[in-house]
Chains A and B, each alone.
Chain A
Amino acid sequence: MKSYVIIGNGAAAVGAIEGIRSVDKKGDITVISKEPCHVYARPLISYLLEGKTDLKRMLYRPEDFYEKNGVKVLYGESAAEIDVKNKTVKLESGKEISYGRLLNASGSSPFLPPMKGYKSVPKAHSFMTLADAMDLEKDLSPETRVFIVGAGLIGLKCAEGILERVKSVTVCDLAPRVLSSILDGDCAKLMQTCLEEHGVKFLLGDTVSEFSGNKAFMQSGSIVEFDVLVTAVGVRANTSLVKNAGGEVNRGIIVDERMKTSLKDIYAAGDCAESFDITSGTKKVMAIMPLAYMQGHCAGVNMAGGDEKIDNGLPMNSIGFFGLHCMSAGSYTGECYEEKGERSIKRLYTEDGLLKGFILIGKCDRAGIYTSLIRNRTPLSEVDFEALKISPALAPFGKGYRLKKLGEAV
């Protein structure tokens, strides 16, 4: 009987379990879960603090998921080392588990840049795991002044999630704009304005030069007084297990399109792995949950002897703050088509006859039609792109496409 071991218990692990079981109903599956709990939806931790979900509802899969799939989960255990020769995983606890095929889905960890005086801050938090959120929650009260370092997706979702529960939220970022990894100037400004209208304060293009207790001395000279600090500067792929075992790693673990690493019988998926972005033509870590699931699924199918590959990956994000939604996908290169409203922006980027990327703020209906154009690398000459630009619909794809998609099982 085949035996599968999965390091990690997030979206990529779930994808792998479902992928393995689509091919092999019987093989042993063991999950090594550092976190002592059932798989939950990590991006929902801000919604948890906001009261929009709870511990039960935020489970990523039903409570009987492992049981139904015949999965043994080792809760609270961490992998310490992969022994390629003997095909075992050594755990921090000293135990050893042998594998037939191994998936490294170890995710990423918050990156904490060296910050002078950081250790003098009495209440400092990360915001990545459920435990982080629960710890942060203990320090929140209507009198709390929160200072968040990092105006990216994690920092701003944290700000939204806690704003109503605290006295004030101030966010700083070295970048001159919010959400700098996914938005350009005007788009970022619109999102910033929305957050500011709800009370979030910003110090952009500024960074902490030194902490001293509950004070942050900024490079600009200003001083931020706070009670609770949250750092959300970024994440780094957890590559060390594969690297130490002799596997090829870059910023993330290097995998092929079947999610196989350079090591025999070892696969990697999710935030710890690098993958190909069809819109930029480069390999990079795209730490997004849908892709983590898909990579995990792909790895699982291949581990079980099936054949699946991912050759259509692209970065994409859908995020909203206080009701204003923002979607982005692909790369912002080439010619830009733009529509602007008072509370909306649409930007479509085309190059070499293909849609390469887009940003939609405010009006996001049927955005997936644009995403599919990018993902499928549909030549724009084959569709009525002038009509699509204005409104995403199926009509501009022509009668043949429509008859097939609406008249056959797809």
Chain B
Amino acid sequence: MKRVYVNEKWCLGCHLCEYNCAYANSGIEGMAKALRGKKITPNIIVEQDGDINYAVSCRHCKDPICVKSCISGALSIEDGAVKINHEKCVGCLTCVLSCPYGCIREGEHGAVTKCELCLENSCGEPACVKGCPNRAIIYEDRG
């Protein structure tokens, strides 16, 4: 299935993906209106290792330990993608304690937030990939 992969050689460390992600998942029209003055909780975060930057988001693991660990049944696998049902999630954060990549975060309204490949929002394809100015984030099938 198609997943988000990173090409760290090309990452500029501009953090645009974080803003595009937060905007795509805000449900609000207009980027300025959605993000101005707000502390964003994007589902992708840019890490730095010396001179190298790279974006980290949910790996949509083939055998996701977060789904197995979820105590409420809010996390599930749909066509290979790991989805979160915000209505069911009570914010116990057991998934945060389980994810080996640190890719699930506490969200705004008591539920956790994670990358759903923008399949659930109006973007329809990963906004981080779409907006990356240097093709350092790619959406493709690598098995």
Contacts and interface: CB of A to CB of B under 8 A. Distances in A.
Indicate, yes or no, whether A interacts with B: yes
Given A290-B98, A368-B100, A406 B5 contact: yes
Instruction: Name the residue among B5, B6, B7, B90 with the largest chain A CB count within 10 angstroms.
Output: B90
Contacts, number: 130
Interface in A18-58: 41, 43-44, 47, 52-53, 57-58
B47 A393 contact: yes
A366 interface: yes
Given A369-B102, A394-B47, A408-B142, A57 B87 contact: yes
A370 B142 CA distance: 27
Nearest to B138: A407
A133 interface: no
Nearest to B66: A368
B72 A318 contact: no
B15 interface: no
A290 B95 CA distance: 10
B102 A365 contact: yes
Interface stretch (B20-28, B56-64, B115-123, B124-132): B56-64
Nearest to A316: B97
Contacts of A253: none
Interface residues of B, number: 42
B35 interface: no
Given A364-B97, A366-B102, A410-B61, A57 B88 contact: yes
Given A43-B92, A395-B47, A290 B71 contact: yes
B73 A393 contact: no
Contacts of B110: 52
B8 A368 contact: no
B73 A41 contact: yes
B71 A364 contact: no
Contact of A369 (B6, B59, B69, B100): B100
Interface in B40-66: 47-49, 52, 54, 56, 59, 61-62, 66
B8 A366 contact: no
B6 A60 contact: no
Interface stretch (A233-241, A269-277, A319-327): A319-327
Contacts of A58: 72, 88
A371 interface: yes
B84 interface: no
A369 B96 contact: no
B102 A327 contact: no
Contacts of A399: 49, 52
A351 B132 CA distance: 43
Contacts of B66: 368
B142 A409 contact: yes
Contact of B97 (A11, A41, A294, A329): A329
Interface in A339-384: 364-369, 371-372, 375-376
B142 A368 contact: no
Interface of A: 11, 15, 41, 43-44, 47, 52-53, 57-61, 289-290, 293-294, 297, 316-320, 325, 327, 329, 364-369, 371-372, 375-376, 392-395, 399, 402-403, 405-410
14 contacts: A52-B110, A59-B73, A289-B69, A289-B94, A293-B68, A320-B92, A364-B93, A364-B97, A368-B66, A368-B99, A368-B100, A392-B102, A402-B8, A405-B101
Given A294-B68, A368-B98, A406-B5, 9 more contacts: A60-B72, A290-B94, A367-B93, A368-B66, A368-B99, A368-B101, A369-B100, A395-B48, A410-B62
